Structure 1
Amino acid sequence: MTNTPTLPSEGACRCGRVRLKISKPPILTMACHCTGCQRMSSSAYSLGAAIPTDGFEVTQGEPVIGGLHGEHKHYFCGHCMSGMFTRPAGMDWFVNLRPTMLDNVSWFSPFIETYTSEKLAFAETGARHAYETFPPMEAYEGLMAEYHTQS
């Protein structure tokens, strides 16, 4: 199994009113166990694929901002309310896509997991690296390089 989708790759929210496309591979894949992600995803953790901004586009419909309406913009379909992607504040170079929005997600597995300090006891992701909160900023370059060598 590869950690890279066939490109370009398209996807949509649950009702199909908002469609998107990625044309570049992920920089990194992840699972987040923080309680905010648990609540937003209604699950034990949320999944994310960091897609370079210039490799991501909404091709149909108009997503709306949901979640906390704070500095990090969480985008949802305004009709079915599927959480689709996040544009993290101060990190304009990538979009955090919920990979399950893609039509084919068979390639996906989380490479890192974050906020294991808030992890539910039964939740397992199979991620190669685990962090109690987020990795330190200086670790990201090495993590991205390692991710790409195995993709």
Structure 2
Amino acid sequence: MSDAAASTVKTVEGGCRCGRVRFRVAGDALVTMACHCTGCQRMTASAYSLSGLYPAERFAVIEGAPVLGGLHGPTRHFHCGHCKSWLFTRPEGLDAFVNIRTTMLDTPMSAAPLFETWTEEALPWAQTGASYSFPKFPPEESFGTLVQAYAESLASG
């Protein structure tokens, strides 16, 4: 990206609870989501996790050094080593993307997530306001439609 183009792209910073790890993303998320799986419930001590999917080249850790926590395999969860905040995930097979916990952004998303996953494990009272729901993870072929729907929601709102 040229310097002129980079200066016109919105950037947002975020970080852990204690402030030792900070990161920056450029532009909007490709899509936002909520995950109801029991793993996310346990990691967040809540009903679901919230995240935004960003191209990896638009993401940078700018302070501190995240450590692995939660999942340590092909899908890797990154946390602050001090306060243990869950910051982002590098999903298995999707090295070109980073899934950021949007509540860790300095300006968290105000709109409902576009879609929710693992609803078959959702707590019966947990509501997200998402436009699309999937009993497990969405099929790969649905992501084009979801990304397009999210871009349209940003343009209209």
1:133 to 129, 136, 141: 136
1:134 is displaced (CA, Å) by 1.3
| Relative contact order, higher structure (CA 8 A, sep 6+) | 1
Paired positions, count: 146
Identical-residue share of aligned pairs (%):
50
1:25 matched to which residue of 2?
Answer: 28
Give 3-state SS (helix, strand or coil) of 1:107's partner.
coil
Matches within 5 A, 1:63-142: 63-142=66-145
Give the TM-score taking structure 2 as reference length: 0.89
Q: 2:92 & 2:123 partners in 1: Cα distance?
A: 27
- Which aligned runs of 4 or more in structure 1 are off by greater than 3 angstroms? none
Residues 33 and 44 in structure 1, CA contact (< 8 A), matched pair in contact too: yes
Q: In terms of Rg, which structure is larger?
A: 2
1:105 is displaced (CA, Å) by 1.0
Residues 99 and 108 in structure 1, CA contact (< 8 A), matched pair in contact too: no
Give the TM-score taking structure 1 as reference length: 0.93
* Unpaired runs of at least 5, structure 2: 1-8
* Unpaired runs of at least 5, structure 1: 1-5
C-alpha RMSD of matched pairs (Å): 1.2
CA deviation map 1:79-127 (0-9, x unaligned): 0000000001210121000011111114342100000000001100000
- Larger relative helix fraction: 2
